[in-house]
Amino acid sequence: MTVSRRKVTVIGAGNVGATAAQRIAEAGLADVCLIDVVEGLPQGKALDLAEAAPLMLHDHAIVGTNDYADTAGSDVVVVTAGLARQPGMSRDDLLLKNAGIVRAVVAQAAKASPNAILIIVTNPLDAMVHVALETSGFPKERVIGMAGVLDSARFRTFIAQELGVSSFDVSAFVLGGHGDTMVPLPRFSTVAGIPLPELMTPERIEALVQRTRNGGAEVVALLKSGSAFYAPASSVMHMVDAILNDRKRVLPCAVLLAGEYKIDGLVVGVPIVLGAAGVERIIEIKLTPDEQAALLTSAASVRGLIDTMAAAKATA
């Protein structure tokens, strides 16, 4: 029997990174290399995860390291490295700090794995995808941001809970940026093929849309420190599965647009076909004027972050 070993590097051995490493190995998708700047952290978590392997019935290698040489030849690189917002830190401070981190880690990872597909997770998500595109020099098909998969999973969860049905039968469609500027499309969200507006009042739909937009904040408020990581890690795992198994899944992902949805040169969340080549196709649907306006607002907020990064670079 030939065993084909695929390799996924996860950068950042924090909550999302370590949980994504666990999900990827335990789903039998690939060997995993977990890397972090903190010495001992990725080694310790990788060892712990490796010791669970006989019990979880997989035999994938999970190694922890601080050295990018160990990441060489990865098929997929997941970037979760970054700082969380600290008290007194503005959004722009966080933007510039995380841009520096993403730039540094992507430069090293791209050199070690020049054919990899990059999945970016670090916030602010859409802006970090721009940084990764610029730093890696990879084609836009191989640099993809994770946000829509998480946002649509949250929307699906809330719809299923509200209607008392299995989330298996719920499919939800979201466009746009992560968080406040997310653009959910209820008319394309269905329960076993039945459009949502047939099953719920506009007021209830709006309430669930709002809850989805605040999905990250709702978890943060409960946890008090740290942010969501189980569902984000599962979202990463689904994207890795789509790529490594060439599934051609239709998933909302943050990708660089070149005229699609009347947006050019900006990273925005749209439905794509995700397979072995990365972004294999962008699916463009006709939006109502309101939906198009909401998407353009979302794109404008990404533009604002890019301008802030450019201004900081110019004065550095």
Catalytic (active-site) positions: 178
105 binds ligand TXD (CB under 6 A): yes
Residues 6+ apart with CB under 8 A from 15: 226, 227, 229
Among 123, 157, 189, 190, binds ligand TXD (CB under 6 A): 123
42 or 190, CB closer to ligand TXD?
42
Q: Where do the DSSP E strands lie in 80-233?
A: 117-120, 143-145, 170-171, 174-176, 182-184, 190-191, 194-195
Please identify which residue in 21, 33, 101, 302 interacts with ligand TXD, judged by CB under 6 A: 101
Q: Name the segment binding ligand TXD (CB under 6 A); options: 24-32, 45-53, 223-231, 262-270.
A: 223-231
Q: Which residue has the tokens 């946000």?
A: 147
Burial degree of 250 (CB within 10 A; 0-12, 13-18, 19+): middle
| Shortest distance, position 194 Cβ to ligand TXD, whole Å | 28
Residue 229 touches ligand TXD, criterion: CB under 6 A: yes
Binding mask 59-98 for ligand TXD (x = CB under 6 A): ---------------------xxx-x-------------x
* Measured distance CA(298)–CA(23) in Å, rounded: 31
Pair 284, 260: CB distance under 8 Å: yes
Judged by CB, which is closer to ligand TXD: 186, or 232? Answer: 232
Q: Is 238 in the site for ligand TXD (CB under 6 A)?
A: no
Q: Kindly give the pairing relationship between strand 174-176 and strand 170-171.
A: unpaired
- Residue ranges in 214-315 assigned as alpha helix (H): 215-223, 230-244, 289-315
Size of the site for ligand TXD (CB under 6 A): 32
17 sits near ligand TXD (criterion: CB under 6 A): yes
Looking at this protein, which amino acid is placed at residue 225?
Answer: S
Smallest gap from residue 120 Cβ to ligand TXD (A) = 8
Cis peptide before 124 (omega within 30 of 0): yes
Report the residue number, 41 or 244, with the smaller CB distance to ligand TXD: 41
Alpha-carbon Rg for the chain in angstroms: 19
**Residue 227, interface with ligand TXD (CB under 6 A)?**
yes
Among 12, 177, 186, 271, binds ligand TXD (CB under 6 A): 12
Which residue has the CB atom at the shortest distance from ligand TXD? Answer: 14
Report 132-151 residues binding ligand TXD (CB under 6 A).
Answer: 146-147, 150
Distance CA(165)–CA(260), nearest Å, equals 35
Restricting to residues 243-302, name those near ligand TXD by CB under 6 A.
none
Contacting residue, 38, 47, 192, 217, with ligand TXD by CB under 6 A? 38
Residues 6+ apart with CB under 8 A from 23: 233, 234, 236, 237
Q: Which residues of this chain interact with ligand TXD, rule CB under 6 A? A: 11-17, 36-38, 41, 80-82, 84, 98, 101, 104-105, 121-123, 125, 146-147, 150, 178, 226-229, 232
